[in-house]
Structure 1
Amino acid sequence: MNYLIMVSHGQFASGLKNALTMLVGDKKECLAIGLEDGKGIDDFTILMKEAICDIHPEDAVVLVGDLIGGSPLTTAMSILSEHGLSQNLVVIGGMNLPLVLTTALMKDTYHGQELVDQVLQEASAGLRQFSFVVDEEEDI
């Protein structure tokens, strides 16, 4: 199976999973784990270990985190490695909804660097500045 694991500070990962479910339906292979406010990394570690208990070394995992170098992402990487899940692991930092949506839809089609290229392209394309234009003509 191919998994998408989202990790974050606070409830960002669970919020993205909620939005993802609204867009593509409930996907059991998409997991969200957050380092909740007031909780420590030990609490996060317990949640992470519980979340990955059904993942096997032959499964592919895409791990996305809110911040590159942040505690949730680095801890999740360590836990996945300790459980022998690093061989088929892709890690991306700086998640947003276009990235997780594309990953959820393409994780069964593309793998490794090809998947990374696809999702990073979509994630970047999802960032745009909009200009608010006011029509100053009045209808008479």
Structure 2
Amino acid sequence: MTGIIVTGHGSFASGITSGLKLLAGQPQNYEAVDFLPEDSVESLAEKLSEAVERLSDCDGIIIYADLTGGSPFNVSIRMKMETNRSLEVIGGANLPVVLDGYMTREMAGNVKTLAESGVEAGRAAMVWFQETAEDEDEYEE
């Protein structure tokens, strides 16, 4: 099974985890790593490394980071480059992306396929609602 780590600025990871619990129950093989104001980049790297270790029994690990180019993303990329583990990193994560990964990780087969699926889930989850005159009439009835 693929392990999942969610990381991000502030309490992003804890917030995503809270939503995931409401939708899918208590997550297994899952870690949330917040990058709090009192954390340094070095302490974030240590927390992420510890999370990877706790998931050492997993076939692979996918790290979902909140902001592409932010410290949690960059530290995760550095970890990917320095490890022999099957580890993938997605930037720009949100609840639909993490939920999709969590719910489909057993079917995905491998961590790369899961990463591809996550990016597509993120694109599909974005909706721009534009109200038209026809929509207004529909809502008034």
Superposed displacement of residue 24, structure 1: 0.5
Find the aligned partners of 2:139 and 2:75 in 1 and give their Cα distance: 56
Superposed displacement of residue 10, structure 1: 0.8
User: Sequence identity, in percent?
Assistant: 28
Find the aligned partners of 1:113 and 1:122 in 2 and give their Cα distance: 14
Could you say which residue in structure 2 is the equivalent of 1:125?
A: 124
Find the aligned partners of 1:22 and 1:58 in 2 and give their Cα distance: 24
In structure 2, runs of 5+ residues without a counterpart are: none
Superposed displacement of residue 114, structure 1: 2.8
Inter-CA distance 77–138: structure 2 relative to 1 (3 Å threshold): closer
Q: Secondary structure at the match of 1:91?
A: strand
Q: Which amino acid in 1 is paired with 2:102?
A: A
Inter-CA distance 37–62: structure 2 relative to 1 (3 Å threshold): same
Could you say which residue in structure 2 is the equivalent of 1:51?
A: 51
Find the aligned partners of 1:137 and 1:58 in 2 and give their Cα distance: 49
> Would you say 1:35 and 2:68 are equivalent positions?
no
In structure 1, runs of 5+ residues without a counterpart are: none
> Would you say 1:93 and 2:79 are equivalent positions?
no
Q: Which amino acid in 2 is paired with 1:68?
A: T
Find the aligned partners of 1:96 and 1:88 in 2 and give their Cα distance: 22
Q: Which amino acid in 1 is paired with 2:22?
A: M
Deviation beyond 4 Å, 4+ runs, structure 1: 132-139
Could you say which residue in structure 2 is the equivalent of 1:103?
A: 101
Could you say which residue in structure 1 is the equivalent of 2:14?
A: 14
Find the aligned partners of 2:94 and 2:40 in 1 and give their Cα distance: 24
Q: Secondary structure at the match of 1:108?
A: helix
Deviations 1:58-99 (A, max 9, x none): 6211111111121111212333554x3x44112111101110
- Checking the alignment, whether the CA contact within 8 Å between 2:14 and 2:33 is kept in structure 1 is yes
The 10-residue stretch of structure 1 (113-122 or 27-36) with the greater mean CA deviation from structure 2: 113-122
Inter-CA distance 137–126: structure 2 relative to 1 (3 Å threshold): closer
Superposed displacement of residue 54, structure 1: 2.4
Could you say which residue in structure 1 is the equivalent of 2:25?
A: 25
Higher helix share: 2
